[in-house]
């Protein structure tokens, strides 16, 4: 666990039980830090990013032809094409320094509408579902006794590279992810609905 999140008086209790951590800031926020800035009144009722978005649009509903996606890391934009015509543009947030989104040519190899991360998320107390660590890394730390792991939501997920995909996420206005391509929810839905397994994805700098 991350000791910096805990009141000093609670540190000796970490190994005892999950309930020892219930006073943390993570518990009060009630969300995964990976998706900080997003809130949900219901599980699948995600709000759009509070950052103004004058970039994203979609004109592709009446277009036909093979789909393709181009992601520009410098511009922080994703472009969707149908039959070679531009169908839509989305504002994005890609991998931050040290976890950059890999450039190259790929194809969509997985679609999962309600995908959750297997690496980043929260630890919750069994029985109450109270969040006790909002910055959990499932592969790097043990689940505390009395807790369970829940992956951060990555809805409308289009995987195109190992452990990297496009999905609904919070956009702070700069590259901030762990490698994935975050999109406004409305645009993530459009890309998800119009892409198929095998859709070409080009990531350029």
Query: Which of these is catalytic: 18, 147, 178, 180?
Result: 180
Question: Based on the number of CB atoms within 10 Å of its own CB, is 108 exposed (0-12), middle (13-18) or buried (19 or more)?
Answer: buried
Residues 18, 115, 167, 178: which is the catalytic one?
Answer: 167
Mapped onto helix, strand or coil, the DSSP state of residue 111 is strand
The count of other CB atoms within 10 Å of the CB of residue 153 is: 24
Q: What is the DSSP letter of 125?
A: E
Output the CA–CA distances (angstroms, integers) from residue 158 to 9, 92, 142, 163, 200, in the order listed: 43, 14, 28, 11, 11
Distances 38 to 42, 62, 65, 190 between C-alpha atoms, Å:
12, 31, 34, 19
Digitized pLDDT (tens) for each residue of the chain, 205 residues in all: 444 444 433 333 334 345 443 333 333 344 666 655 444 433 334 444 456 788 999 999 999 999 999 999 999 999 999 999 999 999 999 999 998 999 999 999 999 999 998 888 889 999 999 998 888 888 888 999 999 999 888 999 999 999 899 999 988 889 999 899 999 999 999 999 999 999 999 999 9
Q: What is the pLDDT of residue 138?
A: 81
Quote the pLDDT of residue 37.
Answer: 47
Go through the domains of the chain in sequence order and give each one's CATH number. Answer: 3-204 (2.40.440.10)
CA separation for the pair 198, 168 (Å, rounded): 20
**CA pair distance 155, 150, nearest whole angstrom:** 14
180: annotated active-site residue: yes
Residue 119: what are its φ and ψ, rounded to 5°? -115, -40
Is 178 among the catalytic positions?
no
């Amino acid at each position: 666990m991350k000791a910096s999140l805990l009141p000093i008086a609670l540190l000796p209790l970490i190994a005892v039980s999950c309930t020892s951590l219930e006073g943390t800031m993570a518990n009060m926020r009630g969300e995964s830090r990976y998706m900080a800035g997003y809130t949900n009144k219901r599980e699948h009722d995600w709000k759009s990013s509070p950052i103004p978005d004058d970039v994203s649009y979609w004109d592709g509903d009446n277009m036909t032809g093979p789909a393709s996606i181009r992601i520009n890391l410098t511009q922080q934009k994703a472009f969707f094409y149908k039959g070679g015509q531009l169908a839509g543009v989305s504002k994005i947030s890609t991998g931050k320094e040290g976890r950059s989104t890999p450039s190259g040519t790929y194809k969509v190899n997985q679609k999962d509408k309600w995908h959750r991360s297997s690496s980043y998320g929260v630890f919750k107390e069994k029985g109450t579902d109270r969040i006790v660590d909002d910055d959990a890394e499932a592969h790097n730390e043990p689940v505390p006794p009395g807790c369970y792991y829940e992956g951060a939501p990555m809805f409308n997920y289009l995987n195109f590279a190992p452990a990297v995909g496009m999905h609904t996420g919070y956009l702070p206005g700069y590259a901030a992810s762990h490698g994935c391509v975050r999109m406004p929810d409305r645009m993530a839905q459009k890309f998800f609905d119009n892409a198929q397994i095998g859709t070409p994805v080009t990531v350029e700098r």
